[in-house]
Amino acid sequence: MLIHAKKASDAASHEITPESVYLNRRGFMAGAAAVAVGGFAGNAGAAVLPAANGAGAFENLKQGYRKLGEKDQVSTYEAISGYNNYYEFGTSKSDPAANAKNFKPMPWTIKVDGLCAKPGTIAIEDLLKPHTLEDRIYRHRCVEAWSMVIPWVGVPLAEVVKQFEPLGSAKYIAFETIVRPEEMPGQRSARILPWPYIEGLRLDEANHPLAILAVGIYGKTLLNQNGAPLRLVAPWKYGFKNVKSIVRISFTEQQPKNTWQVMAPDEYGFYANVNPHVDHPRWSQATERRIGSGNVLSAFEARRTTLMFNGYQEEVGQLYAGMDLTRYY
Amino acid sequence: MSDAALQARRNVLRRGLKPAVFMLCLVPLVLLVARGFANDLSANPVEFIIRTLGDWALRFLLLALAVTPLRLATGWNEVARLRRMLGLFAFTYVVLHLLAYTGLDQGFDFVGLWNDVMKRIYITVGMAAFALLLPLAVTSADAMIRKLGGARWRMLHRLAYPAGVLAVIHYFLMIKAGYQQPTVYAVILAVLLGVRLVKRA
Ligand code: HEM
């Protein structure tokens, strides 16, 4: 499927897929040149969660951030939902799609604790209710040096943070993935990773307008293998920061120990900002392979240069002013 | 059946064995190409191709190393005639694996490849395994056996053992977490090499 700056009306009929219709309707078809930023599409209103696991489509999404480069083609739904790192469901890329069918993303509650004025346990509907859901389109860069482009649905993390009123002493926010070995076969082996999966952000990173809590992809609720029903997306960081199926949010003074840092501290740090100048021992981070076009001939495409902060330097660079990013990788 | 008929049948089997195994050894490659034409190489075709070829390289290496233990265990001496072919197929899949990496993934950027060999330990180890297999492939022809003499040739071809060990280490090193697959290969390799130690002792 090709998504160049052409309208669905001039696409060949075999190119008109549910995905291209969605992208076109949401104004995602054009490259960066023809982008209309901001504005509401329809009556954006309070967030409502349709049927879980990709079954339901969101109505009245607010038109959110959508800046892309010329060569950033949105990845196919098949690629986004069939090629996943979600070790709770198994370690191979095809395991999550195969093993996540029995996972139950509804009903869902999130425990909020730590240094905030409004701790407690909250249902996902109530967590989302005060906010407006947006569609956003981000590059997604895995630490394994591949990347995709993903049309998310979500709410700004900053708004959710505000809702719980973090105390002045709170410096970090920690997230935890659910532990349900009965539904998540990978969790039956403690040798894969120590469960639960933990990730964290500095509070000012969490408050950055690019960070979102995502509940959907391609206008539909998140599939289980994509981290249903609620996951983090911080597009300037490597994918493993984007913790999935979140059941706990904690405000802390100490920097959380994120899972991969615990596993291999010389390979994975806390920040995990996309940085072409700091190599991982197993993968050079200078370049990446763009995948998800749905075409085997992409195998003959050259790798692309990885951009600092995954191309979001202009937006997030000032968060790290003066920091030695070789040390804080 | 008369003795002559039995003998004739055995000859057909004997003559048929090698071509049949040869065709079987090509099946993984044919299937990979077919999946390519069917646009069915996962979301990340380059990785899929590299890994499929790597898997088969290792499997054929282990199959080649299994020939002698199998012969000793079953007394089926015919099988020895398959050893060289299996070894050469292992080498072929290794070369394709290396070619997929160098060509498809790195775009024949040999500077980048050299950096990878120096910096990324699993690539270093993979290259070392390849370097050990190279002289075996070069000396596989009958003429080379005669030239080197059987004893020296056999000595040289024991390089297949450390090559197998390095290949399994290469597999372990490329993985982030979850080591079931390479563990299976490591156990099989340990058995195949262990048999040789026990036999000698
Ligand atoms: C005896 C030689 C070799 C054998 C038997 C071998 C075997 C393997 C195996 C079994 C895998 C894992 C496949 C999987 O995950 O399913 C692998 C992966 C890989 N090997 Fe090799 N290999 C060899 C040499 C090399 C060499 C010389 C290179 C490159 C210079 C190389 C580069 C790679 C790469 C890039 C991967 C995939 C890494 C990834 O996808 O993240 N290998 N190899």
Confidence (pLDDT) at A275: 97
Confidence (pLDDT) at A9: 42
Mean pLDDT, rounded, for B19-46:
96
Confidence (pLDDT) at A2: 41
Kindly report the pTM of this predicted structure: 0.89
Ligand 1 pocket: which of B44, B49, B50 to mutate (most atoms <8 Å of CB)? B50
Question: A238-273: per-residue pLDDT in tens?
Answer: 999 999 999 999 999 999 999 999 999 988 999 999
Region of poorest pLDDT, from A318-322, B88-92, B96-100, B118-122: B118-122
Q: What are the Cα distances from residue B181, in Å, to A263, B42, B102, B188?
A: 20, 19, 24, 11
A46 band by pLDDT with thresholds 50, 70 and 90: low
Check pLDDT > 90 for residue A12: no
Confidence (pLDDT) at A15: 67
Question: Is the Cβ pair A279, B119 closer than 8 Å?
Answer: yes
Question: Can you give the residue ranges of every domain in chain A?
Answer: 13-320
Q: Whose CA is nearest to atom 26 of ligand 1?
A: B126
Q: Is B66 in the pocket of ligand 1 (CB under 6 A)?
A: no
Question: B144-192: per-residue pLDDT in tens?
Answer: 999 999 899 999 999 999 999 999 999 999 988 778 899 999 999 999 9
Q: Which domain holds residue B101?
A: 43-200
Confidence (pLDDT) at B7: 84
Confidence (pLDDT) at A191: 81
* Closest ligand 1 atom to Cα of B166: 1
Candidates A74, A277, A296, partner chain B, best to mutate (most B CBs within 10 A): A296
Check pLDDT > 50 for residue A219: yes
Residue B83 domain-assigned (yes or no): yes
B 161-190: CB under 8 A from A: 173-179
Task: Residue A75: list chain B partners with CB under 8 A.
Answer: 43
A34 band by pLDDT with thresholds 50, 70 and 90: very low
Confidence (pLDDT) at B131: 98
Looking at CA atoms only, how far is residue A140 from chain B in angstroms?
14
Residue B53 domain-assigned (yes or no): yes
Sheet containing strand A109-114, strands side by side: A120-123, A109-114, A246-252, A172-177, A198-202
A13 band by pLDDT with thresholds 50, 70 and 90: low
Using CA coordinates, name the residue in chain A closest to B113.
A284
Q: How far is the CA of B167 from the centre of ligand 1 (A)?
A: 8
Looking at CA atoms only, how far is residue A106 from chain B in angstroms?
29
- The span from the CA of A122 to the CA of A119, in Å, is 9
Confidence (pLDDT) at A327: 87
Q: What are the Cα distances from residue B113, in Å, to A302, B67, B99, B108, B116?
A: 14, 34, 11, 8, 5
Check pLDDT > 70 for residue A307: yes
Q: Report the DSSP beta bridge partners of residue A249.
A: A112, A175
Check pLDDT > 80 for residue B1: no
Q: 3-state class of A7 per DSSP?
A: coil
- The span from the CA of B122 to the CA of A30, in Å, is 41
Mean pLDDT, rounded, for A185-203:
93
Using CA coordinates, name the residue in chain B closest to A82.
B43
Pairwise pLDDT comparison (B61 vs B15), residue with the higher score: B61
Q: How far is the CA of A310 from the centre of ligand 1 (A)?
A: 28
Confidence (pLDDT) at A40: 43
Using CA coordinates, name the residue in chain B closest to A88.
B178
Question: Is the Cβ pair A91, B42 closer than 8 Å?
Answer: no
Q: Is B61 in the pocket of ligand 1 (CB under 6 A)?
A: yes
Confidence (pLDDT) at A38: 43
B95 band by pLDDT with thresholds 50, 70 and 90: very high
Residue B7 domain-assigned (yes or no): no
Ligand 1 pocket: which of B170, B179, B189 to mutate (most atoms <8 Å of CB)? B170
Question: B109-136: per-residue pLDDT in tens?
Answer: 998 889 889 888 999 999 999 999 999 9
Quick one: DSSP state of residue B81? G
Question: A282-294: per-residue pLDDT in tens?
Answer: 778 999 999 999 9
Q: What is the ipTM of this complex?
A: 0.84
Confidence (pLDDT) at A45: 54
Candidates B32, B39, B46, B113, partner chain A, best to mutate (most A CBs within 10 A): B46
Residue B102 domain-assigned (yes or no): yes
Residue B108 domain-assigned (yes or no): yes
Q: Is B125 in the pocket of ligand 1 (CB under 6 A)?
A: no
Q: What are the Cα distances from residue B106, in Å, to A289, B42, B103, B126?
A: 10, 19, 6, 16
Cβ atoms of A133 and A213 within 8 Å: the answer is no
**Residue B80 one-letter amino acid:** A
- Could you give the number of structural domains in chain B? 1
Using CA coordinates, name the residue in chain B closest to A76.
B43
Q: What is the CATH number of domain A13-320?
A: 3.90.420.10
Q: How far is the CA of B81 from the centre of ligand 1 (A)?
A: 28
Check pLDDT > 90 for residue A127: yes
Nearest to A282 among B36, B122, B177 (CB): B122
Cβ count within 10 A of residue A285: 18
Check pLDDT > 90 for residue A163: yes
